[in-house]
Amino acid sequence: MRKLLIAFYTVLVCFPLEAKEIINLRQLAVYLQKNPDTKEVYIKNGVYENINLVLTRINGVKIQAEVAGKVIISGESNINIRNSDDFEFSGFHFRETWSTYLIKLERVTNSKIYNNFFDHTKGNAYSRVIGLQGRSTGNLISHNTFDGIITMGITISADENYNNTITKNVFRNIPSVKSVHPLSKDGNGMEVISIGTVSHWEEPMYNRHFNTTISYNYFENIEGDNNEVICVKANSNTIENNFFTKNKGGVSLRFGSNNVVRDNVFYQNVQNIIIAGQGHVIEDNKIIDDKMGIQIPAGHERNSSRRSKKFSGFYSAEDITIRNNYIDTRDGTPLIVSRHRSSQRPYVPTNIDVSQNSFTARKTSVLSGANKAKSAVSNNSYRSARGLINENLKSTYYFGKKW
């Protein structure tokens, strides 16, 4: 035994354990400037109010709480990270902060924001908790919890921010826009995830393929603008394997083309999927006990018109594939085609392929309004999809922070 203790002591003397570098959060920017070779830094436990950090060119650095959840940031705070690659930021508790951008990533690549708690963070209806812009690519936002936020959640701006992944986050208990921002125009804003965040559509957007992946996220009890939990205004994104329950809105393909919505679960929501644009694929989703079915509204303009001037209305849906979904809604109408058709929105959806789905039809028409649109309906079955999901299934999708 004595020999073992001597040997262990010898190892400690010859190879001492590396001490954690623990610093005050307010000193972080200066510390990283003075120590450019730092690869890992811990932020000392405590409460930090009114933090304003600008971090530039932090490459290959892990920034983490001394103990996950014990570093609390509050007050009017924001963190701006610029021109950086391969950094990690984890373990922080943002408690009732107020900001326009809480965490802004500008020209940031291959980096991770994970295992953080955004706890009732505040701002206006168009403020952001995490915003990517300025050609930020290849980033991962995962295992975070967003609870009671009254701003937008994660936004990816239209300025060439590609190949980012949003996965295994939890979003819950988000009130309506009007209840917290009564002066907000038309009660709009507060989308939980927004891809291609623009107020209008312009010609350059047609050639930008964002390739964002939104997967294995959990959404519960979200009101927001009562329509859009996820808002997509961009091309070539994938929304898959997410769980939505007890929300007022769902996934809105607002602008863009060639987006895929697949393998998601929608359970006891008001809405689920709204489709505008071209070339989208909606497949293998389970929509159970929602108030209404998939919506394919009429448009102000044809999608194929590709107007070069700014456009903020709805383009009509064209070349849409809806296949192999289970849809069992409370109103008995699985798909609502040409909704809101009027003299201002005269353009009906065209070339809508609806096949190999399982519907529960309690009304005479499975596709409400389909007689006004050019749709191909084939090889669908009509049976109840209830029992496919239950409350226990949510645990499969419930990740979020790990502390």
Range 9-17, long-range pairs (CB < 8 A, 24+ positions): none
Q: Can you tell me the mean pLDDT for 273-297?
A: 93
Q: How confident is the model at residue 30 (pLDDT cuts 50, 70, 90)?
A: very high
Does 161 fall in a domain? yes
Q: Residue 183 in 3-state DSSP?
A: coil
Does 43 fall in a domain? yes
Question: Rounded to whole angstroms, how far apart are CA atoms 108 and 80?
Answer: 10
What's the pLDDT at 226?
94
Does 11 fall in a domain? no
Assigned token pair, 181: 């921002």
**Secondary structure (H, E, C), 25-69:** HHHHHHHHHHCCCCCEEEECCEEEECCEEEEECCCCCEEEECCCC
Question: Rounded to whole angstroms, how far apart are CA atoms 293 and 181?
Answer: 29
Q: Which of the two residues, 298 and 27, has the higher pLDDT score?
A: 27
Does 181 fall in a domain? yes
What's the pLDDT at 15?
46
Q: Are 254 and 294 in contact (CB under 8 A)?
A: no
Kind and range of the H or E run holding 147: strand 145-147
Which residue in this structure is represented by tokens 């008995």? 332
What's the pLDDT at 99?
97
Does 109 fall in a domain? yes
Q: Residue 244 in 3-state DSSP?
A: strand
Q: CATH no. for residue 147?
A: 2.160.20.10
Q: How confident is the model at residue 386 (pLDDT cuts 50, 70, 90)?
A: low
Question: Rounded to whole angstroms, how far apart are CA atoms 341 and 343?
Answer: 7
Does 7 fall in a domain? no
Q: How confident is the model at residue 329 (pLDDT cuts 50, 70, 90)?
A: confident
Please name the residues in contact with 372: beta carbons below 8 A apart, sequence gap of 6 or more. 337, 338, 341, 348
Q: Residue 278 in 3-state DSSP?
A: strand
What's the pLDDT at 326?
92
Q: How confident is the model at residue 336 (pLDDT cuts 50, 70, 90)?
A: confident
Does 123 fall in a domain? yes
Question: Rounded to whole angstroms, how far apart are CA atoms 261 and 282?
Answer: 5
Q: Which of the two residues, 355 and 333, has the higher pLDDT score?
A: 355
The residue range of the domain holding 116 is 24-396
Q: Can you tell me the mean pLDDT for 121-140?
A: 97
What confidence tens digit (pLDDT) does each residue in 49-61 have?
999 999 999 999 9
Residue 109 pLDDT greater than 90, yes or no: yes
The phi and psi torsions of 76 (rounded to 5 degrees) equal -80, 95
Residue 191 pLDDT greater than 50, yes or no: yes
Assigned token pair, 256: 């863009």
For the chain, give the percent of residues with pLDDT over 70: 84
Quick one: which of 269, 293, 243 has its CA closest to 398?
Answer: 243
Question: Rounded to whole angstroms, how far apart are CA atoms 175 and 208?
Answer: 33
Q: Can you tell me the mean pLDDT for 281-298?
A: 92
Q: How confident is the model at residue 47 (pLDDT cuts 50, 70, 90)?
A: very high
Question: Rounded to whole angstroms, how far apart are CA atoms 55 and 83?
Answer: 9
Q: How confident is the model at residue 17 (pLDDT cuts 50, 70, 90)?
A: very low
Assigned token pair, 276: 């505008």
Q: Can you tell me the mean pLDDT for 246-266?
A: 95
Number of domains into which the chain is organized? 1
State the average pLDDT for the chain.
87
Lowest mean pLDDT among 56-60, 255-259, 327-331: 327-331
Does 18 fall in a domain? no
Residue 325 pLDDT greater than 90, yes or no: yes
Residue 122 pLDDT greater than 90, yes or no: yes
Q: Of 201-205, 331-335, 387-391, give the range with the top mean pLDDT.
A: 331-335
